[in-house]
Amino acid sequence: MNFDDTPQEAEFRSTARKWIDANAPKKYEAELSKSSLGRIRLEKEEIVDVGKAWQKKKADGGWACLHWPKEYGGRGATPIEKVIWQQEEGVYGKLTQPFQIGEGMCGPTVMAFGSEAHKRHYLPKLASGEHIWCQLFSEPAGGSDVAGLRTRAEKNGDNWIVNGQKIWTSGAHYSDYGLLITRTDPNVPKHKGLTMFFLDMKSKGVEVRPIKQANGMQEFNEVYFTDVVIPDHQRLGAVGDGWNVSLTTLMNERMSIGSRLATGFPEMFEFCSSLMTEDGLAIDDPATRSRLASWAVKASGLKYTSYRAISSLSKGERPGPENSIGKLVSGTMLQDIASYAMDLQGAAGELAGADEEMARGQFQQMLLSAPSMRIAGGTDEILRNIIAERVLGLPGDIRVDKDVPFNKIPTKGRV
Amino acid sequence: MNFDFSDEQKQMRDAARKFLAEKCPPKAVRAVLDGKASYDKELWKGLAEMGFLGVAIPEAFGGAGAGHLELCVIAEEIGRALAPVPFSSTVYLAAEALLLAGSEAQKRKWLPKIASGEAIGTLALFEGKGNPSPKAIKLQASGGTLNGVKKPVPDGAVADFAIVAARTGSSGRDSDISLFLVDLKAGGVEVKSLTNIDPTRGQAELTFKNAKAEPLGTAGEGWGLLTQVLDRAAVLLAFEQVGGSDRALEMGRDYALDRIAFGRPIGSFQAVKHMLADMYVSATLARSNCYYGAWALSTNAAELPEAAASARISATQAFQHCSKNNIQVHGGMGFTWEFDCHMYYRRANATALSLGSLSYWEDQLIDRMRQKNAA
């Protein structure tokens, strides 16, 4: 049991570190180090522009999408090398946010189901950041039940005509391409009538509208499709096989080992260590200490759980299911920490201004944003189902709509 | 990075699991639970023969000289099987104290006997209510004899010797405390078994009346030594707790798969699935914290105090959580004497207190994190 690199890993780390040291956009380092939660913002420039420049530089140096094959713009690196790269990239990794969906989900799906010509054309541009991709899965009627989606694609000669609406699409407003799942046959059970495509987001009939969220920010979009034409050669997988194709995409989403999720604990520990109450420092209060300790062991437990996964990668093994707990634990933690940090501030805890001296509104912002952490990328309830079914081997839910043709499934509750 | 046990250590874990499955089935635990024996003597002998009692004791003192990582994997199996033997008191407390502070002669006398299963040892620290604290130690040492009462003392009724924390000064400082080694069979000690929530791990009251004692370690350094012993024991006991957590989770999972209600296995209801998923989360977090504790223990790292407190808290929470929800998954049957659920519930809640309570360790963790941040 040790934390040391193997000789090959150490060599890779040293090469990566040298390259980053010589090439990273250091003028943003301080700014990037500060923002710990949610979307990253830069004072004077758009994160997408700065990110694109960094991504391009990495691609030119052979450091973009490094676990991808070289012919598609990657480096052919091993999974552990990718983790080492992420560790070394450090705060500059935050600049890759606009490309993560493309690299983590859309790219692997194209790689698995696209034609060779498509792969050679699209993947290197995705890897170099020239093209940004988004993922068009969720719909107003299909969130956790994503197979309940209603966006229609109808065949018309060599093309498909798409009509419908997607929602919660991150980055749609700056994306060049999208991975789109549609319903092509409503007369068969819901999982069987789906087909996957990719499309140019500048296609005629695509309209992107930002969503104003509960926390007041605008990070997601609705995307409307009105008679959008997609050529049949942009289909990924067979007609009616879209559900299986989407499983590839989602499986890749959950493989994000080494990317640490924010828990709010470091901020909370610092806050409690400096907050002077009428009875002394907050951290000297027994009730506060008890809560802090429970959060501390959750945060360290998550950290060492990811170390265990990294160790499996290092040995060339597939990591076990332990890593599925990350988002489930950290989402609730963020919410609880924010709430207690505000409790410690008393009546002033409701003040959210960045000029408030106590914590500059950071916990208030955390509280307002935390609900999305428990919903996006799989709700807490879906994640518990996944653990129960895939890790513990408990039976799947009884699905009353499983064998019913999609167009016969009830669409209204309370009738 | 290799944040995992080696293949050899995993093989040792498998060997321990196999051995305990055979020699320590629930029936054996129940024999002690029902008061038919004070501990499982056959099992104790078997553990000695397997080399498990002395796995972390150097070969020069009759042990296997393997190390603390090996002891961690065995501790996990001891906890999973609820082994009704004085393992934690003898191996985590007495042997660790001897290894840390014992003289050559003391080590020569006692460590080989621990490894061979001939001697049971314990640590006599507590004096009634409260958590580990120098102020709570009133038992007096003077002129090589001890006077006072210790309770609860783990496995005190079956122990052959005890490491005793005693007061040797009255300055109000930590240096008032010194450690002593007492041969409990040499007279001067009255032993009384106490009723406790987990009869498979006995507790006793020891009354010292002019009991002969020899110093263990340097006089006045007892408190510092105790803190180290408790940290080391915290990691090892945390592995027992993780083993117990995993077993309680498996029992709940298995029952949820077998038990039919409302025409379906109860494990198909989300209320039950989610309860079990949350147990898995607790057990996983605890295991990962324990691995860090194991690393710190085995390398004598400066991080040990913080790592030990984290492992202890996380594993205590996990075992309490898993054992109580295992009963809940079982419903009414879980509340019968006949089903094994309560044995895990008892062990979880007893071990949660045995080295100091959860709130004590929470306090310790925060203090230690602050010290680290200040440094």
* Digit-coded pLDDT (tens) for B295-339: 999 999 999 999 999 999 999 999 999 999 999 999 999 999 999
Chain A residues whose CB is inside 8 A of the B288 CB are 300-305, 307-308, 322
Alpha-carbon distance of A178 to A185, in angstroms, equals 21
Contact criterion met (CB < 8 Å) for A384 and B274: yes
How buried is B300 (Cβ within 10 angstroms: 0-12 exposed, 13-18 middle, 19+ buried)? exposed
Give the confidence band of A2 by pLDDT, cuts at 50, 70, 90.
confident
Chain A residues whose CB is inside 8 A of the B4 CB are 1, 308, 311-312, 315
- Model-level pTM? 0.94
Q: What is the mean pLDDT of residues B1-12?
A: 94
* Dihedral, CA of residue A299, residue A300, residue A306 and residue A308, to nearest 10: -150
ipTM of the complex: 0.96
Asked if B341 and B251 count as a contact pair (C-beta separation under 8 A), the reply is yes
What percentage of residues in chain A have a pLDDT greater than 90? Answer: 72
In this predicted structure, the answer to whether residue A198 has a pLDDT above a threshold of 60 is yes
Please give the mean pLDDT across all residues of chain B: 97
Q: What is the mean pLDDT of residues B61-72?
A: 97
Give the confidence band of B215 by pLDDT, cuts at 50, 70, 90.
very high
> Does residue A266 belong to the interface with chain B, where contact is any CB pair within 8 Å?
no
Contact criterion met (CB < 8 Å) for A289 and B273: no
**Nearest CB to B267: which of A296, A384, A394?**
A394
The pLDDT of residue A36 is 57
In this predicted structure, the answer to whether residue B164 has a pLDDT above a threshold of 90 is yes
Alpha-carbon distance of B225 to B203, in angstroms, equals 23
The pLDDT of residue A378 is 86
> Does residue A410 belong to the interface with chain B, where contact is any CB pair within 8 Å?
no
What does the block give as tokens for B258?
């077998």
What percentage of residues in chain B have a pLDDT greater than 70? Answer: 100
Contact partners, residue B257, CB within 8 Å, separation at least 6: A393, A394, A395, B265, B267
> Does residue A84 belong to the interface with chain B, where contact is any CB pair within 8 Å?
no
Helix (H) or strand (E) holding A140, with range, is none
Counting one residue from A and one from B, how many pairs have CB atoms under 8 Å apart?
160
In this predicted structure, the answer to whether residue A141 has a pLDDT above a threshold of 90 is no
Catalytic residue status for A253? yes
Q: Look at A112-116, A324-328, B360-364 and tell me which has the smallest mean pLDDT.
A: A324-328
Which residue in chain A is spatially nearest to B286 when comparing CA positions?
A301
SS (H, E, C) chain B: CECCCCHHHHHHHHHHHHHHHHHCCHHHHHHHHCCCCCCCHHHHHHHHHCCCCCCCCCHHHCCCCCCHHHHHHHHHHHHHCCCCCCHHHHHHHHHHHHHHHCCHHHHHHHHHHHHHCCCCEEEECCECCCCCCHHHCCCEEECCEEEEEEEEEECCCCCCEEEEEEECCCCCCHHHEEEEEEECCCCCEEEEEECCCCCCCCEEEEEEEEEECEEECCCCCHHHHHHHHHHHHHHHHHHHHHHHHHHHHHHHHHHHHHCEECCEEHHHCHHHHHHHHHHHHHHHHHHHHHHHHHHHHHHCCCCHHHHHHHHHHHHHHHHHHHHHHHHHHHHHHHHCCCCCHHHHHHHHHHHCCECECHHHHHHHHHHHHHHHHHC
Chain A residues whose CB is inside 8 A of the B296 CB are none
The pLDDT of residue A39 is 59
> Does residue A217 belong to the interface with chain B, where contact is any CB pair within 8 Å?
no
Read off the pLDDT of residues A29-84 as tens digits, 9 standing for 90 and up: 988 887 656 556 777 888 899 999 999 999 999 999 998 999 999 999 988 898 89
Which residue in chain B is spatially nearest to A310 when comparing CA positions?
B1
Read off the pLDDT of residues A351-394 as tens digits, 9 standing for 90 and up: 998 888 888 889 999 999 999 999 988 899 999 999 999 999 99
**Cα-based distances in Å from B160 to A282, A341, A398, B52:** 46, 51, 59, 19
